[in-house]
Structure 1
Amino acid sequence: MKKLAIIGRPNVGKSSFFNRLLKERDAITSEMAGTTRDVKKRVATVLDREVEVLDTGGLDEGSELFDKVREKSIAAAKQADIILFMVDGKNLPIEEDKKLFHELEAMGKSMALVVNKIDNDKMKEKVWEYYEFGTQTIFGISVSHNRSINPLLEWIAKQLPYIPQAGELEAAEPDMMDEFDDLLDAYMEEDEEEGSIYDENDEMKESDEDPNHISVAIIGRVNVGKSSLLNALLGEERSVVSDVAGTTIDPIDETIERDDKTITFIDTAGIRKRGKIEGIERYALYRTRTMLERANLALLVLDASEPFRDLDEKIAGLIDENRLACMIVLNKWDKAPRDDYDKIVQQVRDRFKFLHYAPVITVSALTKQRIHKLYDMIIQINDNYSQRITTSRLNEALAFAMRKHPIPSMHGQVIRLYYATQYATRPPQIALIMNKPKGLHFTYRRFLANQLREAFNFEGTPLLFKAKKRGEK
């Protein structure tokens, strides 16, 4: 798939045009210079053609952070097939922009000069001033007023390969649906052979999500090393890393293929104490919560070189709130006391009891220590999170558990568990069909959960129970 990079100085409207291409508010936009710091990547459909759009940080100078942002933006331009060099039409052309435009033009890419903020007819004459850049591929637009956007979209579409529509593809490959039906029939026959004792009103609710696509949110407070961890996982400087707290503002993501799985890493904004959240970071916190709702698995990143904080607990609570699979990553292990492994892990277990199911791994994003192990653990945890236990095996395990420890009575009333069935995945959710659902004490739920964890591999995933009467939905 071809790549389109949007390049330009801060506050020229790059992220707004990025959102316009995606037809949604994905990138955070603000009047504050430097809102976009990392390169955001999303696939957009321009007319009838697909392209991967790269929203880059503003090309500015003056600090170490801005220098890193600029470096990332230029690197994105080198990777792209199409470059949109965007300028602010309310200002006069400057020599620095002209020089950079010619440097990018020398790369031999398809390139257009986009003069944004031409908000009305009177401002159209401003576009003429930019012809001194020496290009004829120039577009005067207004993203905020949605003016003159179509000619630019048409130009972009001409640079992209045509994608056959669904009807055309079906006509070209008439046997595709027959093959799919054969596979579906084979799957149904295999499922029937396993046998089941479902109640006629019980139904397995398959997740709409593809179990082979893992969305991994990297979450933690500021400066615990989330962006460094993402860079280490990808083996490249994908995120801007700086000692400035809150460097990552807009959650960014990167998708890779690994062992027949598609893994999308989301580097979320670091979370501060409520009283310290200012300005644009309020949007970042909201966006982080939104991204967690779409994630399957969370890497809770903690700083192993210093004591854990109450804020770490509160952030971990977001994982529990969203019922995500989880791994606890103790970063900066190269700076942690060498002989305190058992002590530190015990502190994690004591402090994050509600994430008791999450494995703990010690890493150093800086030295790449044990980073390679994270991939195998992510894939295994996703398999656990997505697994479906057949009703027969599930009830065998529960029968064994109840022989070890029968269900306690409630006010002298006998509590009976007739059978259990898994009704959803991601996370695994199990219905317990009982005579008196309210009589199931939470301590016995915990006992059953522990027994199932011994019988099946549910490491890294929450396990949810729903007690209900026969025939109850």
Structure 2
Amino acid sequence: MDKTLKKIALIGQPNVGKSSLFNRIANKRIAIVSDMAGTTRDIRKHEIEILDRKALMLDTGGIDETNDAIFSNVKRKAIETAKEADIILFMVDGKNIPDDKDKELFYELQRLGKELALVVNKIDNDKELERLWEFFEFGIGDENLFGISVSHNRGTKNLFEWIYQHLPVNLETVAREEAEALKKQRENEFDFDDEEDYSEEEQEISQQEIINKEVDENKINVAIIGRVNVGKSSILNAIIGEERSVVSPIAGTTIDPVDESFEYKEKKITFVDTAGLRRRGSIEGIEKYALMRTKDMLEKANMALVILDASRELTDLDEKIAGLVDEYGLGTIIVLNKWDENMDTFQKIEEEIRRRFRFLSYAPIIAVSAKTGRSIERLKDKIIEIHNNYTQRIPTSQLNRVIEEAVIRHSLPSPNGAYLRIYYTTQFDTRPPRIALVMNKPNLLHFTYKRYLINYLREQFNFEGTPIHVIARGKNDKMGDEEYLEKS
């Protein structure tokens, strides 16, 4: 077992679902699952992999403040494990109100200064989400609070994404693949004797072109998503110029996703016209499969059109559907269909959308009419533009300059007197753009400063329509990272 892996500790009182979550993350039935409090007493370890990042998962015994010698030993082991861990998942039972025992233990873990998430389990439906507000009493930000249902596999994707963002990036593999691609192209296009005739700058430009070519294969997968009867099929037909999807005023006509590809400005665009989403309580019969297939489609897409009905008021369901797009990290355009109002009304609706969809603040809003064809060509051009933003890679030198300017304008915070320093910055991935801040104490960088840097990056570069992930990393998180970061 790799001793350099980051450790994730599961902490909590008995019978809150730690072992079930352990099994869900590990994707195997390893931990013993039982309704009997205190089933898990020893520390179970298992190497896990979330996408391309690995970690060591530690499942601790349930903690219970009793005089029982067994539980006393369990608590001791759990706290010791938490001290050794890099990431702590503190689980509580969402069926019960927060108790003082949970708060006391949470504050004790908080003082360790580790990456800490409060995981509220057994939030089985939308109605029970309201109980999540009670757990803000712990004094934790909403970016570290997760309401999930392990048994229903609900809300776990957001938690997995949070864990993923806090695991080291294996840049060594990326660097090796890019070097091999560069070497292969050189072998095909040049004699090795000519290689030394190229300056370092020319070689870097050549390598950058190869990287971008590998990332951008001129293929765009676009998900069309929205609640029922907002005009998704009509918009698809208007964009491709033919009636491909069945259009009907009857809500829920489209059940199976309909794929359609066409060429536009040297790009191959593939649309998936999804079944409309309704409130969970209104889903009946075959529409349950439509919801499942919609989520499957979002996993394959790299861009989404969030369709809203401009002739009707926005609803909470519109927000939930848009939240799916944000959850999958897609390039996004908000499309107002059935538009026939004046500009003053558009400004009013735009303000309402921005208020409700703060998490999609980067997404442009385009008012169209599938019926008359208004702004359909503009929408097609915007798809190309957002895709270019989504797949772009900013040179390291430019990123360093911009981040240095941002730090000069607004100094890095000094939590508890700690001196923070950013050594350098680089973009290590696209779709969406992922940017690493290589610094001395990455765990102490507050999310509000990351948000400030993201906003500053948006002012300097065209990232319209795409989320940006800024991730703080230690200088020696992975052997080989430093060389790659400095030469990207």
Q: CA deviation at 1:189?
A: 9.4
SS at match of 1:376: helix
CA distance in 2 between counterparts of 1:253 and 1:270 reads: 15
Asked if structure 2 preserves the Cα contact closer than 8 Å seen for 1:206 and 1:424, the reply is no
Asked if structure 1 preserves the Cα contact closer than 8 Å seen for 2:215 and 2:430, the reply is no
Q: Which residue of the partner structure matches residue 240 of structure 2?
A: 234
2:437 equivalent to 1:437: no
Q: Which residue of the partner structure matches residue 278 of structure 2?
A: 272
Asked if structure 2 preserves the Cα contact closer than 8 Å seen for 1:217 and 1:298, the reply is yes
CA distance in 1 between counterparts of 2:268 and 2:198 reads: 26
Higher helix proportion, which one?
2
Q: Which residue of the partner structure matches residue 403 of structure 1?
A: 408
CA distance in 1 between counterparts of 2:326 and 2:196 reads: 34
Asked if structure 2 preserves the Cα contact closer than 8 Å seen for 1:221 and 1:311, the reply is yes
Q: CA deviation at 1:209?
A: 5.6
Q: How do residues 333-372 of structure 1 correspond to structure 2 at under 5 angstroms? A: 333-334=339-340, 336=341, 339-372=344-377
SS at match of 2:412: coil
Q: Which residue of the partner structure matches residue 388 of structure 1?
A: 393
Per chain length, whose mean CA-contact separation is higher, i.e. which structure has more relative contact order (CA < 8 Å, sep 6+)? Answer: 1
Seen in structure 2, the aligned counterparts of structure 1 residues 442 and 178 have a Cα distance that, compared at 3 Å, is: closer
SS at match of 2:435: strand
Structure 1 unaligned blocks of 5 or more: 1-176, 197-203
2:477 equivalent to 1:472: yes
Q: Which residue of the partner structure matches residue 317 of structure 2?
A: 311
Of residues 251, 258, 263 in structure 2, which corresponds to 1:257? 263
Q: Which residue of the partner structure matches residue 56 of structure 1?
A: none
Letter of the structure 1 residue corresponding to residue 189 of structure 2:
D
- Aligned-residue RMSD, C-alpha: 2.6
- Mark the structure with the bigger radius of gyration: 1
Q: How do residues 70-89 of structure 1 correspond to structure 2 at under 5 angstroms? A: none
CA distance in 2 between counterparts of 1:259 and 1:244 reads: 35
Q: How do residues 290-329 of structure 1 correspond to structure 2 at under 5 angstroms? A: 290-329=296-335
Asked if structure 1 preserves the Cα contact closer than 8 Å seen for 2:389 and 2:462, the reply is yes
Asked if structure 2 preserves the Cα contact closer than 8 Å seen for 1:195 and 1:392, the reply is no
Q: CA deviation at 1:415?
A: 0.9
Q: CA deviation at 1:339?
A: 3.3
CA distance in 2 between counterparts of 1:187 and 1:289 reads: 47
CA distance in 2 between counterparts of 1:188 and 1:216 reads: 43
Q: CA deviation at 1:342?
A: 1.0
Of residues 454, 459, 479 in structure 2, which corresponds to 1:454? 459
Q: How do residues 130-145 of structure 1 correspond to structure 2 at under 5 angstroms? A: none
Q: CA deviation at 1:178?
A: 8.4
Asked if structure 2 preserves the Cα contact closer than 8 Å seen for 1:207 and 1:426, the reply is no
Question: What are the superposed Cα offsets for residues 251-288 of structure 1, whole Å, 9 maximum, x if unpaired?
Answer: 01111111111111110110000001111111111111
SS at match of 1:333: coil
CA distance in 1 between counterparts of 2:197 and 2:294 reads: 43
CA distance in 1 between counterparts of 2:221 and 2:235 reads: 16
Q: CA deviation at 1:441?
A: 1.0
Seen in structure 2, the aligned counterparts of structure 1 residues 417 and 254 have a Cα distance that, compared at 3 Å, is: same
Q: CA deviation at 1:443?
A: 1.0
Q: Which residue of the partner structure matches residue 419 of structure 1?
A: 424
CA distance in 2 between counterparts of 1:232 and 1:427 reads: 28
Structure 2 unaligned blocks of 5 or more: 1-183, 205-209, 479-488
Q: Which residue of the partner structure matches residue 193 of structure 1?
A: 201
Q: Percent identity?
A: 56
Letter of the structure 2 residue corresponding to residue 293 of structure 1:
E
Query: Normalised by the size of structure 1, how large is the TM-score?
Result: 0.58
Of residues 450, 463, 466 in structure 1, which corresponds to 2:468? 463
CA distance in 2 between counterparts of 1:438 and 1:229 reads: 45
CA distance in 2 between counterparts of 1:441 and 1:470 reads: 18
CA distance in 1 between counterparts of 2:320 and 2:191 reads: 44
Seen in structure 2, the aligned counterparts of structure 1 residues 251 and 447 have a Cα distance that, compared at 3 Å, is: same
